[in-house]
Structure 1
Amino acid sequence: MTDNHLGEFLRARRAALCPQDVGMASYGVRRVAGLRREEVAVLAGVNADYYTRLEQGRERRPSAQVLDALGRALRLDPDAYAHLHQLAGTTPSNHLVHTTDRVSPALRQLIDGYPGTPAFVIDRTLDVLAANTLAEALHSPFEKADNLARMAFLDPAGRQFYTRWNHTAEAIVSHLRQAAGLDPDNPRLRELVHTLTESSADFTRLWNTHAVRGKSQDAKHLLHPDVGPVTLTYQTFEVRAAPGQQLVIYQAEPDSPSARALRLLDTMHVTSHQNAV
């Protein structure tokens, strides 16, 4: 059995593409399926002999930059791109991971399938991309439930809604710092950080600590003007089909005052919408 796993992977992915897939004209008689080695080398901007050595296993230490270029040339999706780097023993960059603000219909259907608990989708900059009815009702004290960082730091409702505001603020800024490391050229992130540093001394102070922490799970202590105190735990899940998106699900302890508050909030929200029709 060969140990040339990187070369085998490159050959297989090259064979899965045809010139039309990558916008190249086809010429000559092709004895095997897929792109020629020379074509992959041109697309990646590397020397054809060097690429041949990679496939043959005579070169086993390509740089991360070369692998990024090969990933683009071979049209690798995020999972295949990460696998390419793993085979070569390098750390993936994020050049091929594109965040999208479009939430798929299947994901929207999923969050709507949680009628008794708030569920919503965010991106790396904490923009709220989609939310179910209960999540909308929970965040109704805010003027706009559009971005968790803006809501906490710039909306007057933020300091009353988040009863542990300092803890929430630190977590938000740490998340944005992590996002800046993952996607430093993100124009939306730059715009958001600029707005927050211009408008909030608290944000600027926390941003300058350079603390980094991803959003995973924690407790939320909230005060909703319509139903009173609500204590929730949350879990976040990476959306594999849309890198950069996260599904956030809040949950109250069963049969607790917070669970009853959520049910009341849901009823009030539905009734208000019915009355508005």
Structure 2
Amino acid sequence: MDQRAELSEFLRIRRARLKPEDVGLPNVGRTRRVPGLRREELAQLAGVSVAYYTRLEQGNSGNVSGEVLDAIARALRLSDTEQAHLTHLASPKTKKKRAAAAARPQRLRAELQYLIDAMDSVPAYVLGRRMEILASNRMARALLGDETTLPPEERNMARIVFLDPNSRDLYVDWECKAVELVSALRLCAGCWPDDPLLSALVGELSVKSEEFRTLWAAHTVREKGHGTKRLHHPLVGDLTLSYETLKLPADQDMSLITFHAAPGSASEESMRLLGSWGLDTDTRPVNR
């Protein structure tokens, strides 16, 4: 991916979402032909010259300092996640180091598989940085579908959610799930711009899914470590489950995701029923 273009688009879109009144500036003067703050207004808020900010928004980050990036992030009212993304885009590693890092495969430790298999009543799976499904346990496959029936190159959550029509039946709030996945892939693209597998995934989804193409163009970056998912399971019906996303410090760019139902809830009883049935996940449609 073109790092300069990514930086330029991210800054331009974030500037366009702010109005003068949002940042305490008077909305007077010549008619605005485009939405959002002008470059000179953003530069004024960040305390940098218009020429300097213009070069940065054109993707010419050069040796931009952390202090300047912090000032621009504050002026743009970026979240912590967005600020980290901006830093990755503006201060990339050398191309050689980035390419070497991106080429390293993500390998799942056997101990991680043993761990999630031992969590017999808790749906759990492991995602890689490109949203690859690296491992899952029996309950996760019963709840969300058995990705192991797919070829290895297709075991990817983003690919399944956007290209498998069954996912729209499973996720009651499918649009929210879609935004979460694209936001996560955007973060990955900022950290690993020279990852050929990520570029291929984004290219495929952009061609095959209009929804993905639209969300990708919005440059949304967001991390959501926990929350609630509403599912409509084909066998046990409607479920409301909490999820937790646990980063694995010893396993670079991997996350362990678990689901659980509130104690005493109807969803807990449905999950217990789902687990007791001992579903043959090989016959289940993929709905991750």
The reply to whether TM is greater than 0.5 is: yes
> Corresponding residue for 1:135?
140
CA distance in 1: counterparts of 2:146 and 2:138, whole angstroms? 14
Q: Separation in 1 of the partners of 2:255 and 2:276?
A: 27
The answer for the alignment partner of 1:122 in structure 2 is: 127
Higher relative contact order (CA closer than 8 Å, sequence separation 6+): 2
Q: Does 1:267 align with 2:272?
A: no
Partner residue in 2 for 1:245: 254
Once the two structures are aligned, what percentage of the paired residues are identical? Answer: 36
**Aligned: 1:208 with 2:195:** no
**Larger gyration radius, structure 1 or structure 2:** 1
Q: Given that residues 97 and 243 in structure 1 are in contact (C-alpha distance below 8 angstroms), is that contact kept between their aligned partners in structure 2?
A: no
Distance in 2 of aligned mates of 1:157 and 1:141:
13
Deviation track 1:162-195 (CA, whole Å, cap 9, x = no partner) reads: 1001111111111111110111111221111111
* 1:135 alignment partner AA: A
Measure, in 1, the Cα distance between the counterparts of 2:224 and 2:252.
15
- 1:89-128 paired onto structure 2 within 5 Å: 93=93, 95=98, 100-128=105-133
Q: Give the 3-state SS of the residue equivalent to 1:214 in structure 2.
A: coil
CA deviation map 1:208-227 (0-9, x unaligned)? 00000124112111111011
Change (3 A) 1:97 1:237: farther
CA deviations over 1:21-50 (Å, ceiling 9, x no partner): xxxxxxxxxxxxxxxxxxxxxxxxxxxxxx
Quote the residue 2:235 is aligned against: 226
In the TM superposition, residue 92 of structure 1 has moved relative to its aligned partner by 8.7
Equivalent position to 2:171, from 152, 159, 162: 162
Offset of residue 264 of structure 1: 1.4
> Structure 2 length normalisation: TM-score?
0.59
Question: 2:217, 2:279 → 1: CA distance?
Answer: 45
Q: Secondary structure at the match of 2:240?
A: strand
The count of residues paired between Structure 1 and Structure 2 equals 186
Q: Which residue matches 1:177? A: 186
* Alignment match, 1:254: 263
Render the CA deviation track for 1:133-177: whole Å, top value 9, x for unaligned: 000111228774821111211001011111001111111111111
Structure 1: runs of 5 or more not aligned:
1-62, 65-90
* TM-score, L = length of structure 1: 0.61
Range with bigger deviation, 135-144 or 172-181? 135-144
CA shift, 1:120, in A, is 0.5
Q: Which amino acid aligns with 1:254?
A: P
1:229 counterpart SS class = strand
Q: Deviations over 1:28-78 (max 9, x none)?
A: xxxxxxxxxxxxxxxxxxxxxxxxxxxxxxxxxxx99xxxxxxxxxxxxxx
Counterpart contact for 2:142–2:279, Cα < 8 Å: no
Aligned: 1:196 with 2:205: yes
Alignment of 1:32-43 (within 5 A): none
CA distance in 2, matches of 1:204, 1:110: 36
Match of 2:17 in 1: none
**8 Å Cα contact 1:141-1:225 kept in structure 2:** no
Distance 1:184 1:92, change over 3 A: closer
Task: Give 3-state SS (helix, strand or coil) of 2:201's partner.
Answer: helix
